[in-house]
Structure 1
Amino acid sequence: MTPTLTPRSYLIQGVISGWCFAVGYGIGVLCRLLWGYMELPLPVERSSRVIKRISAAVFLILAATVLWLSAGWQNSIRKLMEMEPLPSAQPLEVCAITLIIFLLLIALARGLSLVSHAIAMRMRHLLPWRVARVIGYALTIVSVWAIANGVLIRYMLHVADASFASFDQYFEADKTPPISPLRSGSAASSVGWEDLGRTGRAFVASGPTASEISALGDGPALEPIRVYIGLAAAETPERRAHLALDELKRTDAFRRSALVVVTPTGTGWIDPAAIDTLEYLCDGDVASVAVQYSYLSSPLSLLMDPEYGKETSQALLRTVYEYWTTLPPETRPKLYLHGLSLGALNSENSFELYEMLGDPIQGALWSGPPFQSGFWRSVMERRNPGSPAWLPQFRSGSFVRFMNQRGDMSQTNQPWGPARIVYLQYASDPVTFFDYRDFYRRPDWLDAPRGPDVSPEFRWYPVVTGLQLAFDMAVATSTPVGYGHVFAPEHYIDAWLVVLERKAWTIGKIARLKQYFVRQRQQ
């Protein structure tokens, strides 16, 4: 019931509490089994009844206390995220859901225990009973894991993949092929509208026009270029990457001042807040290119084929980079990378630094990197002593820097090197800050000072906090914009200004652009 990184509804709270209740009960049962296995003496029956009654009384008092405190705990997060406070944590609903989840998990565990007992009974004539019991439990665990991981989960993922693939082909009534020849899927494009997929069609059919950019920027603007290649466009990542290059050449994208290679999320979605703000800041003089690598949501993509996104992102960047290096440096566009969430992870994996040392790209903006991101994690773990884990400083800051809602950035007075890498991350984002070690070790980002959007009431507890954060990841996008895993356009503006080194935008123009996106969000 204690607060973690994201605010929780009574439904999510009940599910988490049910899991924690079952895990705690399971630990107790395991200890009892080990005690009996070692043939240690048990309390006499009368003492056992007294212990149980005292334990039950303590449990009820603790449960009532935390239910009474839970609304205040949740409001400590909601206040930081500018949400309306909860008048009540709906304790009756939470208790009902908790008991349902608890009983279901206990029933499942006892069913498996019966299976292990049956296996042990069949072996008791061949082996000592204590050995047979151990083998029975071991065989049950191994068998269930093998069936679940090798058959059930894969079958469910294939069903999900087929379902998402069908949904990806769904045509929205309000989306029509773009008129501008500078967009994939237009009449001038070699990629058909139907081959872009649902997320690709949404990407090329949206975004600001040259006139809208000009009106807000007080100057002439170009029509932004958007290139997108869906999974249905070609069979292999390499062929889709070459289709993307052909589209870039067709639209004269290499004559723009900036070219951004975007790695989408698992479903192929690209955050409009990131690309719309980019196009305004560049006065339309920018091209964006992306290739879809999956139909599944990001968590399912990681389970189904975690290397598939890496393969596609590498193929796209390699194809674009090899052509880009053949162009005169003084006339070619500056080359950048971008990715959100799983897109950030795969964008990280799309290049090798040593391959680009002779002719490096100009930078990257990665937002909400998942905790599995290798490069991000290596930087975090080697951060400068004394810098917080939620906004670290890395060496001189000439290569990698971090930003959050407040635009805070380490070593702002230090000069940049040839490439600028910026991570945009929120301290309240469980997708970024979850770690398997949270089950047994207190995370560094709970040290003082804490992030501006992390509750002061957040306390770490072994096992429990790990479960809480795992469930937080499932609802990370349910937070208000600017918290959790939902990134605000105004924060992208600050980050892009640093990566692009746009000095032409005055403080007044930047404030006006931010206000424009805030009004858009409130409408």
Structure 2
Amino acid sequence: MNIKSLAYRYCTAFSYWGIVIAMLFFAASLTPSLLPRNFLFQGLLSGFALAIGYAAGVFFVWLWGYLQLPKPNERLERVSKQLTTIGVLLVAVLFLWRETVWQNSIRELMEMEPVATSYPWRIGLIACLTAALMITATRCLVASWLYIHHSVNRILPRRISYVLTTIAIGLIVLFVTNRVLARLALDAADAIFLQLDKVVDEGIEQPSDALASGSAESLIDWDSIGVRGKNFIANGPTQEEISQFHGKEALRPLRIYAGLRSTETIEERAKLALDELIRVGGFKRSVLVVATPTGTGWLDPGAVDTVEYLHNGDIAIVSMQYSYLPSWITILVDPHRSRDAAYILFNEIYDYWKTLPKAERPKLYVHGLSLGSLGSESSFDLFTVFEDPIQGGLWSGPPFPSRVWAELTRERNPDSPSWLPTFRDGSIVRFTGREDSLNQWGDHWSPMRFVYIQHASDPMIFFEPELFYRKPEWLVGERGPDVSPYLRWYPIVTFLQTAFDLPMATSVPHGYGHNYAAASYIDAWIAVTDPTNWKSEDTDRLKVLFAEE
């Protein structure tokens, strides 16, 4: 059989109604989601939607026949197919034409330059190729199922053969997916990001200051600290810069960071971070922050630099690395890494901190961004902490598996939207976004204060498996100011769209998506830590300073 015959048989084997549903899925995938997409990502997304839509159409055709529902007569079927074909093609062309408008509706809200075109024909081509590969792979599985079924059916009854064949194919798919494809992908990512973690940015050298982690006097070896940790140690504001801002003598901020390769175990790493914190005098500062980094070990300069300015350098920040993979990969692979690391580090610090005289020890806060937020919010037991309370915490971009965040959002006041909840009287926990909303409760704060910063357009927060079959609360009623007015929920498709948004969550300007602005951190840190003698004019000056960076 020649290639031409094979191609003909391949094309004629497609289900008409499967193609119809696939085209509707394709059209829906072109509508906007939380973030703007380039033509490559859009093409891949639409390809997945095409393939899944085709599978759904084939399933419904099979179900119709299985239930022995009546079929239309030949003439009615022919006319309905003609009308359906015209309608589906018009919908697909219309949605491709509108794609540019929809993408620009997001870009405009995020202060990005509009695009002249979204390259609809490139999208269509990439989508068709992606779908063809997925459908071909599925057909190979079906052919394998039939082959195994016929082989087994020679010696066992048909129904037993169905069960055994399905189990066998299912196990093979699970094995190949989890043990081969996923493992190869994870190993490749692991190897790449491990090497990136070892790279030292140009201009970053081992610190000579004895108070710096990784210095010759430090308990933490410089070479054991990953690239993100080295940047954190070397690139913070200097004592001179903080002094110049305040117009008076400042202290040198203390930064303690234990790298993933600093010790063999998490427990040893936490103990090393504590010993280093004691060595440099971190417990003699007025403010102490236990910060949980993102999956790559990164701490957002907009968060850590600003709080050091707010407290005139009289602060110590301690952190330790638990991974070098991006947060969205770590969440899918092992979200417990963050929780375990944050819990162990916090309790190591807290157990020592509570032994100190209350009048002499620093105010203690927790902080985390993204996966760091997920870990940090679970790092302490409230019943234990209530015996000797810490002062609060600041979390930004809490990812969707965050349990504390999810419970607070679920139990929010009914008149508040899920993308910006209010919780009870706002005395302990408050939420804010791009625009500061922390002052709506006034100064009615408790001694222990917690703030969540979140953007309505952040897919790391608002992705959820339930998008597959249920309209999310963040699309009910008033929607966030950075969410496209054209965004609509479609079963399955919106789940795919938001899942494809995850890897691109930070590829937008500061203040949108998963990219948090220094100005938001400034407002939140002021609310949480209440810096001494701080004035509104100082806030304005600090925001201008960080806006220039």
Task: Output the TM-score relative to the length of structure 2.
Answer: 0.91
Give, in angstroms, the shift of residue 181 of structure 1: 2.1
- Counterpart of 1:201, as a letter, is K
Q: C-alpha deviations, 1:85-115, integer Å up to 9, x for none?
A: 2222211111111111111111111111111
- Counterpart of 1:429, as a letter, is D
Give, in angstroms, the shift of residue 388 of structure 1: 0.8
SS at match of 2:548: helix
How many positions carry a matched residue from both structures?
520
Q: In the alignment, what sits opposite 1:203?
A: 232
SS at match of 1:478: coil
Classify 1:463/1:142 alpha carbon distance in 2 versus 1 (closer, same or farther; 3 Å). Answer: same
**101-110 or 306-315: which moved more?**
306-315
Q: 2:429 aligns with which of 400, 405, 412?
A: 400
Give, in angstroms, the shift of residue 126 of structure 1: 4.8
Q: C-alpha deviations, 1:264-312, integer Å up to 9, x for none?
A: 1111111111101111111111111111111222233234433222222
Q: C-alpha deviations, 1:173-222, integer Å up to 9, x for none?
A: 32101232221011221212101111111110111101111112222211
Q: Percent identity?
A: 47
Q: CA–CA distance in 2 between the matches of 1:384 and 1:305?
A: 32
Q: 1:362 aligns with which of 391, 397, 422?
A: 391
Q: In the alignment, what sits opposite 1:102?
A: 131
Pairs within 5 Å for 1:291-306: 291-306=320-335
**242-251 or 159-168: which moved more?**
159-168
Give, in angstroms, the shift of residue 52 of structure 1: 3.7
Q: In the alignment, what sits opposite 1:14?
A: 43
Q: CA–CA distance in 1 between the matches of 2:257 and 2:431?
A: 28
Q: In the alignment, what sits opposite 2:406?
A: 377
Q: 2:482 aligns with which of 443, 450, 453?
A: 453
- Counterpart of 2:327, as a letter, is S
SS at match of 1:477: coil
- Counterpart of 2:106, as a letter, is I
Q: In the alignment, what sits opposite 1:224?
A: 253
Q: 1:509 aligns with which of 538, 543, 546?
A: 538
Q: CA–CA distance in 1 between the matches of 2:438 and 2:276?
A: 36
Q: 1:286 aligns with which of 312, 315, 319?
A: 315
Q: In the alignment, what sits opposite 2:64?
A: 35
Give, in angstroms, the shift of residue 474 of structure 1: 1.7
SS at match of 1:262: strand
Q: C-alpha deviations, 1:385-424, integer Å up to 9, x for none?
A: 1111111011111111101111113752262223111001
Q: CA–CA distance in 1 between the matches of 2:80 and 2:430?
A: 56
User: Is 2:425–2:441's contact at 8 Å kept on the other side of the alignment?
Assistant: no
Give, in angstroms, the shift of residue 128 of structure 1: 5.5
Task: Output the TM-score relative to the length of structure 1.
Answer: 0.95
Q: CA–CA distance in 1 between the matches of 2:226 and 2:200?
A: 8
User: Is 2:31–2:99's contact at 8 Å kept on the other side of the alignment?
Assistant: yes
Q: CA–CA distance in 2 between the matches of 1:458 and 1:481?
A: 21
Pairs within 5 Å for 1:170-209: 170-209=199-238
Q: CA–CA distance in 1 between the matches of 2:473 and 2:466?
A: 11
Q: In the alignment, what sits opposite 2:268?
A: 239
CA RMSD in angstroms comes to 1.9
SS at match of 1:122: helix
Give, in angstroms, the shift of residue 123 of structure 1: 3.0
User: Is 1:338–1:365's contact at 8 Å kept on the other side of the alignment?
Assistant: yes
Q: In the alignment, what sits opposite 1:351?
A: 380
Structure 2: runs of 5+ lacking an equivalent: 1-29
Give, in angstroms, the shift of residue 245 of structure 1: 0.9
Give, in angstroms, the shift of residue 152 of structure 1: 3.6
Q: CA–CA distance in 2 between the matches of 1:217 and 1:450?
A: 40
Give, in angstroms, the shift of residue 503 of structure 1: 5.0
Structure 1: runs of 5+ lacking an equivalent: none
Q: 1:419 aligns with which of 431, 448, 458?
A: 448
Pairs within 5 Å for 1:436-475: 436-475=465-504
Q: CA–CA distance in 2 between the matches of 1:318 and 1:209?
A: 29
**106-115 or 409-418: which moved more?**
409-418
Q: In the alignment, what sits opposite 1:93?
A: 122
Pairs within 5 Å for 1:158-173: 158-173=187-202
Q: C-alpha deviations, 1:28-60, integer Å up to 9, x for none?
A: 011122334445555566655544433322221
Give, in angstroms, the shift of residue 367 of structure 1: 0.3
- Counterpart of 2:375, as a letter, is N
User: Is 1:182–1:224's contact at 8 Å kept on the other side of the alignment?
Assistant: no
Give, in angstroms, the shift of residue 15 of structure 1: 1.3
